[in-house]
Structure 1
Amino acid sequence: MSAGPRVGFRCDAGAGSGVGHLVRCVALAEELRSRGARPVFLGAVRDSPWALAQLRERVLPLTPAPESPAALAALARALRLDAVVLDSYDLPPGTGEELRRHGLPVLAVVDGDPLGQHADLYLDQNLGAEHRPFPAGPVLAGARYVLLRDSVRRRARAPRRPDRVPDVLCFFGGTDAAGVAPAWAQALGATGVPFTATVISPAPFAAESPITVIPPTDRLPELMAAADLVVTAAGSAIWELLYLGVPTALSWVADNQLIGYDELVGRGVAAGLGGAPGPEAVAVLARLLSDPAAREEHGRRGGGLVDGRGRERVADALLALVR
C-alpha cells in the first residue's frame, strides 16, 4: 500500500502575528491525516508555548522555512512534498508562483486579499466571502469551508438557565498580540451588572473578583461551550463560536478583522463593541449581561452558519489537485 501525499503547511505563529493561521492549518492537517496524508509544517512558532503544543500534541512536524520563494521551493523538493498550503500575510508575493513553477499544487488561505499570491486554489472562509468578487483564481469561499479542529467539532453547548449569573469568557487569540485583555476586563467590571468571568491572557495582570485571569489553555473549546457570553476579537476563533452557537460580543484588534466584524455585526450574529472599550462598549456589555434573551438571540442567529464539515470540503478539493 503506497503512502499518502505529503502536504506542507507554510505558516507562522507567535506573539506578534497571533496563532490563527496555525490553528486553521492544524484543523486541515487533522483532516488530511485522517485520510492517510502526511502533513508537515514549514515555518516558526515564536513566544507561544500554547501554539507549539498544538503541533507537538498532534505529532505534526515543524521545519524552519526560508524566506525566499526559491529556497522554499528547494525545501519542498527536498521534503518530497506533493502540495503546499500557504497561510501567511508576510510571504513574498512570488511564493506561490515559484512553488507552482516546480510542479507543486498550491492552496492559498486568504482573508479577502490574496496579497499577490498565485495559487491553483484559494480558500477564503470569511462569512459572506462567496458574495464578494475575488481578484484571483478558483476560490472556496464562505462559511461552508470553515476549518475547525477536532477539539471543537466534538463539543456541544449545553442548554442555558436564564436565572443564573452569566459566565463570561474573554480572550483575544492565543497571544493577545494587541495586549487588550486587561482593558476589556476593566470594561466588564464597569458594567455594574453581576457576572463571573474568565479572562485568558499570556501576560498576567491583576484583576479583582469576579474576574479570574488564566494563561492560554487547551481547554478553550470547553470554556467556550460553557460560557453564557464570549468577548473576543473578530479573528479565527469566531468560527468556532458560531459552530458552538455561543453568544458573542466582538471587537477588532487588526484591520484585516474588519471584514469579518462588519459582516457578523451587520447580520446580528454577534454584538458589536467597536474597536476600543469605551462607554458605548460598556453599555452593550451591560445590556447583554442583564438580558439573557438578547444575548441568546445572537447565538441563535449564528447557529447553522458553520456546520463543521468545511475542512472535509477543503481536503476534497486539495487532494483532487494532487491526484
Structure 2
Amino acid sequence: MRIAFRVDASHQIGTGHVMRCLTLAGVLSAEGVQCLFICREHTGHLIDLICREGYEVLRLPQSSLPLQTAEEQWLGTDWRSDAEQTLEALRDAPPDWLVVDHYALEARWESILRENCGRLMVIDDLADRPHDCDLLLDQNLVADLYKRYESLLPKQSASLLGPCYALLQPVYAALHEEARPRSGQPQRLFIFFGGVDKDNLTQTALSALLKLDLSNLHVDVVVADSNPHREALEMLVSDVPNIRLHGSQPTLAPMLLAADLAIGAGGSTNWERLCLGLPTLVITLANNQRLIVDELNKRGLVRWIGDKDSIQVDALVAQISIFLQQPLDAWSASCLKVVDGLGVGRVCAALLANKNTVLIARSACQDDEVQLLEWANDPLTRRNSFSSGQILPESHHLWFTQRLAKADCQLYLIETVGGLAAGQVRFERAHSAWEVHFTLNPVLRGRGLGSSLLKTALDAFVKVKPGVVVFGAVKSENRASCRIFEALNFSLVSVVDADVAIYKSNQF
C-alpha cells in the first residue's frame, strides 16, 4: 500500500501538522506501507526534518506571483495551482490514500485530488470550511464534537472524532500504563511552549518562577534548538541550579511522565500531557486553541490562565503559587482517563482495514455508550433502520443501560487488533431463538468487513449460549446486510410485504 501526505510544512505554522503526520507515517511504515510527503518550499520550511526521518518528499516550489489572500499566503500559491501541482506530482503513482493536513485546503482542492487517489483523509481541528473526503480525523475534545462537521462533509464521509484518535508517538501508549496520579504537592515542573515560541512565553513563565521560592522544586524547560531566544533564556537562569534548559527532544514523554505540574500552550501537546496524567496550566497561543482549551478547562482537565496577549508576569506568579501548594491527585487521575495513547494505532487500522483484518469481540460496557449512539445516528444507519428518526441521547442512555443489565441480551463491541471499534452486534432472546442486530462502524464501510464482524460476534456468543438458533430481520432493499447473512449461510425464510427479509441460521 502507498500513502501520500500533503502537509503544511511551513516553519511558523506547520510544525504540529508535520509532527503528527510523521507519527502516523512511522506506524504505517512499520506495517509495511510506503509513505511519502508532498510539501511546499516555504521560507524556513520543515522539509529537511521529514527527509531526516527517511521519507521521500515531493517538493512544490514557491510561487513567484503575488499572493492576494491570507489563504494564498498561507498555502504559498492559489488553491487551484496547488491542486494541479500536487496532482502532477502524484500522477505516475497514485496513492491508495491521500492524507491532507493543511488549514488552507478545502473541498474544491480535495475534489480535484480525489480523481488521482484511492481514498482521501483530511486531518482538521477547525471545522471552519467544507471538505470532500472519505474520512475526516479531528483528534480534539470540543463542545458539540459530533455535530460540528455535519454541514461540512458529504453524506458518504465518515469521521474519527476525539482524543481516542490522538496521533501520539507509540511511546505514550507504553508509558500510559506506567503513569499514576500525582500525589502530594508538586516537586517537579515542566515548561514547554512549542517548537517556535515566537511570543517568548518561556521567558514569561521563567520570570514568574524566579519570583517564587524554588528550593523544593525542580524545573525542566524544553527550548527548541531553533528558538531565537535561547541564549537570553540561558542567561536568565544561569545561576539557578534547579532550573534546567533542554534542547529539542525526539519525544517529550519521559519528562512529562516525571513531572508533577506543567505550564504550556494549548496545542497538540494537550493530548501528550493528558495521556500521562500531567496537570497543566495552559496559555493559549492562537484562536483555534481557544475552543479546545475552553472545553478542557470546563471539564477540569487543564487550568486555562489566559491568552498570550493578556498574560502578565505578576498574575502568572499568583496562579503558579496556588497550584504549587495544592495536592494534584484528583486532577491528575481525571487526566489519565481521557487519552490512552492508542490513537495512532486506531487511525492506522482505519486506513488499512480490509476483509482479512482480524477482529476481536468483547462484551460492551457503559463506556461504549457514546460510540454506539454516534453509529446509531449515522444517516445511512438511520435509513436502513425500521425506525428512521434521530435517537436522542436521553432515550439512548436508558435503552443502553437496560440492555447491559438484561439477562436475555448479549451486546458485543467488535474491535480490530489495533483497538479501532469496528462495530456492535446485539443478540436478544425472542421466544426459543435469538434475534441479532448489528452495526458496522461507518469508517469501515466498503472494506468487506461486514461478514467478519457478524461471524466474530457469533463465535463469541455460541461459547456462552451453545445450541442456539439465531435470526435477523432487515429491509429487503438493504442488500449489504442481506449479503452478510447469506455469506454466513443464513437461510432466507420469509419476506414480509416485500419490505422485510428474515434470515435464520441452523443451530449453532
Q: TM-score range by the shorter chain?
A: 0.7 to 0.9
Name which one, 1 or 2, has greater alpha-carbon Rg: 2
Give, in whole Å, the separation in 2 of the partners of 1:41 and 1:179: 31
Q: Equivalent of 1:190, from 207, 211, 214? A: 211
Taking only the aligned residue pairs, the percentage that are identical comes to 28
Closer, same or farther: CA 319–196 of 1 in aligned 2, 3 Å: same
Q: Shift in Å at residue 139 of structure 1?
A: 1.8
Bigger mean CA deviation after superposition, 249-258 or 102-111: 102-111
Count of equivalent residues: 315
Q: Shift in Å at residue 54 of structure 1?
A: 6.2
Judge conservation of contact 1:246–1:299 (CA < 8 Å) in 2: yes
Judge conservation of contact 1:146–1:310 (CA < 8 Å) in 2: yes
Q: Equivalent of 1:318, from 340, 351, 358? A: 351
TM-score normalised by length of structure 2: 0.57
Give, in whole Å, the separation in 2 of the partners of 1:249 and 1:226: 16
Judge conservation of contact 2:94–2:117 (CA < 8 Å) in 1: no
1:8 aligns with 2:10: no
SS in 2 for 1:151: helix
1:42-91 Cα offsets, whole Å, 9 max, x none, are 21586488x8546524x223331355111111212234322111111233
SS in 2 for 1:190: coil
Give, in whole Å, the separation in 1 of the partners of 2:255 and 2:51: 21
Q: Equivalent of 1:146, from 157, 160, 166? A: 166
Residue type at the aligned position of 2:59: P
Q: Shift in Å at residue 207 of structure 1?
A: 2.1
SS in 1 for 2:133: coil
Closer, same or farther: CA 117–155 of 1 in aligned 2, 3 Å: same
Give, in whole Å, the separation in 2 of the partners of 1:90 and 1:239: 24
Tell me the equivalent position of 2:331: 298
State the Cα RMSD in Å. Answer: 2.7
Question: Of Structure 1 and Structure 2, which has the larger fraction of its residues in strand?
Answer: 2
Tell me the equivalent position of 2:298: 266
Q: Equivalent of 1:78, from 72, 81, 92? A: 92
Residue type at the aligned position of 1:176: D
Closer, same or farther: CA 158–123 of 1 in aligned 2, 3 Å: closer
Residue type at the aligned position of 2:7: C
Give, in whole Å, the separation in 2 of the partners of 1:15 and 1:246: 28
Give, in whole Å, the separation in 2 of the partners of 1:69 and 1:167: 48
SS in 2 for 1:235: coil
Judge conservation of contact 1:18–1:175 (CA < 8 Å) in 2: no
1:64 aligns with 2:79: no
1:243-290 Cα offsets, whole Å, 9 max, x none, are 111121111101111111101111001122111432433222111122
Residue type at the aligned position of 2:33: A
Judge conservation of contact 2:274–2:335 (CA < 8 Å) in 1: yes
Give, in whole Å, the separation in 2 of the partners of 1:78 and 1:65: 16
Q: Equivalent of 1:133, from 124, 144, 148? A: 148
Alignment of structure 1 residues 28-177 onto 2, 5 Å: 28-43=24-39, 47=44, 52-53=48-49, 56-57=52-53, 59-65=54-60, 68-91=82-105, 94-128=108-142, 130-134=145-149, 135-137=151-153, 138-156=158-176, 166-177=187-198
Closer, same or farther: CA 127–160 of 1 in aligned 2, 3 Å: closer
Give, in whole Å, the separation in 2 of the partners of 1:191 and 1:42: 47
Judge conservation of contact 1:248–1:298 (CA < 8 Å) in 2: no
1:145-197 Cα offsets, whole Å, 9 max, x none, are 11111233332455588578621111112222433221122122234454221
Judge conservation of contact 2:181–2:333 (CA < 8 Å) in 1: no
SS in 2 for 1:178: coil
Residue type at the aligned position of 1:142: G
Bigger mean CA deviation after superposition, 249-258 or 142-151: 142-151
Residue type at the aligned position of 1:62: V
Closer, same or farther: CA 303–165 of 1 in aligned 2, 3 Å: closer
Judge conservation of contact 1:146–1:239 (CA < 8 Å) in 2: yes
Residue type at the aligned position of 1:282: V
1:22-46 Cα offsets, whole Å, 9 max, x none, are 1211222122223221111221586
1:90-125 Cα offsets, whole Å, 9 max, x none, are 336632111113344211100132534322211111
Tell me the equivalent position of 2:318: 283
Judge conservation of contact 1:200–1:214 (CA < 8 Å) in 2: yes
TM-score normalised by length of structure 1: 0.86
Tell me the equivalent position of 2:221: 199
Give, in whole Å, the separation in 2 of the partners of 1:87 and 1:52: 18
1:308 aligns with 2:341: yes
Closer, same or farther: CA 150–118 of 1 in aligned 2, 3 Å: same
Tell me the equivalent position of 1:20: 16
SS in 2 for 1:21: helix
Closer, same or farther: CA 290–165 of 1 in aligned 2, 3 Å: same
Greater RCO (CA < 8 Å, at least 6 residues apart): 1
Residue type at the aligned position of 2:152: A
Residue type at the aligned position of 1:10: R
Bigger mean CA deviation after superposition, 244-253 or 77-86: 77-86
Judge conservation of contact 2:40–2:59 (CA < 8 Å) in 1: yes
Give, in whole Å, the separation in 1 of the partners of 2:214 and 2:183: 15
